[in-house]
Amino acid sequence: MNNKVSLTTQNRLIIFGLLLSTVLIVAIAVFAIFNIQKKLNEGYQNFGQVISKTLAIESVEITKNLPADKIIDTLQTHSESILKSHNDIVFIEFRDKNGKLIYSGKNPHAVQSNTNIRVTSPLTAIGESNPVGSVTVGLSGDIISQISSTTRASLLFVFSVAWLVFAFVILINTYLITRELRILQNGVKKISSGEFGYKIQTKDVSSEIEELFNAFNDMSTRLHIYEEQNIDRIMLERNKFESVLMSIANGVVVCDDNDNVVLVNNHAQTLLEVTEEQVLNKPIQQYIDTSGNYCFKEKIEQFKDTPLEIIEKKPIEFNINVDKKVIKSIISPMFTRNKDYVGYIIVLIDMTKEAEMEQMRAGFISNVSHELRTPVTVLRSYIDTLYNYGNEFDYETQKEFIGTINQEIIRLNRMVNDILDFSRLEADTELEKEPNNIEHLIEECAKQVEVLTKEHNLHITIDKKSLPPEFMFNYDSIERALTNYLSNAIKYSPENGEIKITLNYSPENKEVEVAVTDQGCGIAPEHQKKIFDRFYRVENNTHTIKGTGLGLNLVKTTIEKHHGGRVFVHSEVGKGSTFGFILPTAPVEISVK
Ligand code: ADP
């Protein structure tokens, strides 16, 4: 209940009722006192009349046969006896028929000497019509004022008591009614806070209220039963919904229509590098990425400025960068079944790999075009020169020209083959395999690169640690893989360097390991992890030789995808590298997908 003293309509009515009853009671009391006072005054007036008349008759009677000199004494004696017995009579006066005062007696016992009422009666003998004089009685009215003040006090007391009882009854009644309302209000609060099954006590309440309380308790019990029946289903639904959102592969941030985050799934927390506590119940605009930018702020403003029907069809898409990650963010509005807008969802998709790939692809295209243009330009100029001026050159120069042309054609051929191999190996068609001799293959490859090694004054050796039997593999693809390793080793080796091919067979593991070790520039650890990725190239001061970034990826695809083997690299910058592959000699289940 609200503790603040506020005048409800009910309170106002009670106060109004109390004021009205006070006014009524006071008015009735004043009216009653006024009436009583009036009646008393009239009665007192009559009392004065009676006294003066009685005194007149008595005085005429007692003085009727007396000599004139005795009359005054007799009147005095009689008057004094009356004055003595009535404290309320202040004085008695006798006058003759001419109005001359013949006797005046004052009451020594009168409480107060004020005369409030004077009553005069004629002194008339019985049977006579003319009065012989008059008698005047003066009354103080003390009794009246005493009676009326006593009456006033009693009435005031009675009405005050009546008013107090009345007010008390009203207040108690009000309290009792509001007590019942308070009990009911408390019950409703419990229900609204989810305490289904809560019961209110029905004792000490009026019968109508008891009915209401019983209906309330009945409703509470039904809600409790309903809750028991549905809670599991609701919880299951809720958990299902939450676990789907929480475990979804993309990041999901749900915001209410005040922008406060109400849900942030695990993936979103990882992508945004925040914990649930850091963002939950806070506006998403306050999120700061690792570079210190409020990366959502502007886009959310834009989202809010766009009409819902437009944004619903075309959600806002943008990229944010958190740390080194590129995250695609999509903001779309959220509606209830009744199409009421309730907030928005931000879906976060990690595009780092795709962005890297895109960058690599762009690099690949520029590299390929560059790589193709160079031999083509060289070929054109050499062939042009030979065609136009060939006769003028001696045999040695012509041979030199043709040698260069041959080299460039080999380079071109290799590159075109790489690209063709790439698309072939990427395709899902399985390579044909037959029993082959790997030792023979290694010797063939070494022979093929002999010209190149000689050109660079490189020394190539084969270390056959243990020889495997023939086993199933696709000869051409493995040959290209090893040639790739070898040509890279040649490319990155210093003059007079040594290149070693190692062959090792492990009968226990049923595996053959082939490795190519050079004494070249080596590869830094951060590049080693990615070196087998498609289009990946190390481009720095040491690795200046251009290429497509496809060679090692082709090796990986050949070995892993088509033969169920593994590739590896061990390298140290400045000392050299060992690139190798391991092939299973026993048949393995291959999935080219
Ligand atoms: P590319 O055809 O461009 O040479 P690769 O896939 O064959 O592509 O090689 C990828 C990268 O790996 C190259 O850019 C190169 O820097 C590095 N690399 C490959 N082999 C060696 C090696 N033996 N020594 C040093 N770096 C190497």
pLDDT of residue 90: 85
Ranges 25-29, 451-455, 541-545, 563-567, most confident: 563-567
Instruction: Tell me the pLDDT band of 113, cut-offs 50, 70 and 90.
Output: low
3-state secondary structure of 459: strand
The most confident of the ranges 4-13, 149-158, 573-582 is: 573-582
Distance CA 232, CA 176 (A): 41
Look at residue 353 and tell me whether its pLDDT is greater than 50: yes
Domain range annotation of the chain:
9-147, 248-350, 356-419, 428-584
Ligand 1 mutation target, pool 531, 540, 557, 578, most atoms within 8 A of CB: 531
* pLDDT tens digits, 294-344: 999 999 999 999 998 888 888 999 999 998 899 999 999 988 888 888 999
Q: Among all chains, which residue has been given the structure tokens 């790589």?
A: 371
Q: 321: phi > 0 → left, psi -120 to 50 → alpha, else beta; which?
A: beta
Amino acid at 183: I
In this model, does residue 5 exceed pLDDT 50? no
Q: Which residue has the higher pLDDT, 516 or 72?
A: 516
pLDDT tens profile 287-299: 988 888 899 999 9
Which CATH topology does 356-419 take? Helix Hairpins (1.10.287)
Both tokens assigned to 21: 């009853």
Long-range contacts of 144-151 (CB under 8 A, 24+ apart): 144/40, 144/41, 144/44, 147/40, 148/33, 148/36, 148/37, 148/40, 151/33, 151/36, 151/37
The atom of ligand 1 lying closest to the CA of 553 is 6
Does residue 515 line the site of ligand 1, with CB under 6 A? no
Q: Is the pLDDT of residue 39 over 60?
A: yes
How many A from CA of 538 to the centre of ligand 1? Answer: 7
Which of 518, 528, 538, 557 to mutate to test ligand 1, by most ligand atoms within 8 A of the CB atom? 538
Q: Is 547 in the pocket of ligand 1 (CB under 6 A)?
A: yes
pLDDT score for 4: 44
Q: What is the pLDDT of residue 111?
A: 58
Atom of ligand 1 nearest to the CA of 547: 3
Looking at residue 350, its pLDDT comes to: 92
**Architecture in CATH for domain 9-147:** 2-Layer Sandwich (3.30)
CATH number 3.30.450.20 is the correct assignment for the domain at 248-350: yes
364 CB under 6 A from ligand 1?
no
- 408, 379 in Cβ contact below 8 A? yes
3-state secondary structure 424-456: HHHCCCCCCCEEECHHHHHHHHHHHCHHHHHHC
Do the beta carbons of residue 445 and residue 483 sit within 8 Å? yes
Closest by alpha carbon to 51, among 98, 109, 92?
92
Mean confidence (pLDDT) of the chain? 85
Q: What's the CA gap between 36 and 156, in Å, rounded?
A: 13
Residue 261, beta-bridge partner list: 255, 280
Contact 130, 111 (CB under 8 A): no
Calculate how far, in angstroms, residue 523's C-alpha sits from the geometric centre of ligand 1: 9
* Ligand 1 pocket mutation pick from 488, 491, 559 by most atoms within 8 angstroms of CB: 488
Beta strands in 75-116 (DSSP E): 89-96, 101-106
Question: What's the 81 CA to ligand 1 centre distance in angstroms?
Answer: 155
CB atoms within 10 A of CB 466: 11
Task: Give the single-character DSSP code of 560.
Answer: I
CA of 516 to the centre of ligand 1 (A): 13
537 CA distance to ligand 1 middle (Å): 6
Stretch 147-170: mean pLDDT: 81
Predicted confidence at residue 356, as pLDDT, reads: 82
Question: CATH for 428-584?
Answer: 3.30.565.10
Does residue 554 line the site of ligand 1, with CB under 6 A? no
112 in Cβ contact with 134 (< 8 Å): no
Closest CA to 287 of 260, 324, 247, 319: 260
Asked, colleague to colleague, whether 248-350 and 428-584 share their fold, the answer is no
Torsion of CA 22, 24, 27, 29, to 10 degrees: -80
pLDDT one-digit tens code per residue, 428-441 = 678 889 999 999 99
CA of 358 to the centre of ligand 1 (A): 19
φ, ψ (nearest 5 deg) of residue 403? -60, -45
| Amino acid type, 541 | N
CA-CA distance, 130 to 479, in Å (whole number)? 176
Q: How far is CA 341 from the centre of its chain?
A: 16
d(CA 299, CA 423) in angstroms, rounded, equals: 40
Asked if pLDDT for residue 110 goes beyond 80, the answer is no
User: Which pLDDT score, from 0 to 100, does residue 274 have?
Assistant: 92
**What does the pLDDT average to over 376-403?**
89
Tokens of 100: 């001359």
Q: Supply the pTM of this predicted model.
A: 0.45
Q: If pLDDT is split at 50, 70 and 90, which confidence band does 2 have?
A: very low
Q: Is the pLDDT of residue 529 over 90?
A: no
Q: Which of 466, 407, 408, 476 is nearest to 445 (CA)?
A: 476
From 228-232, 352-356, 408-412, the region with the lowest mean pLDDT: 228-232
* Closest residue by CA, ligand 1 atom 25: 522
Split at pLDDT 50, 70, 90, the class of 3 is: very low
Tell me the C-alpha distance between 267 and 248, whole Å.
Answer: 7
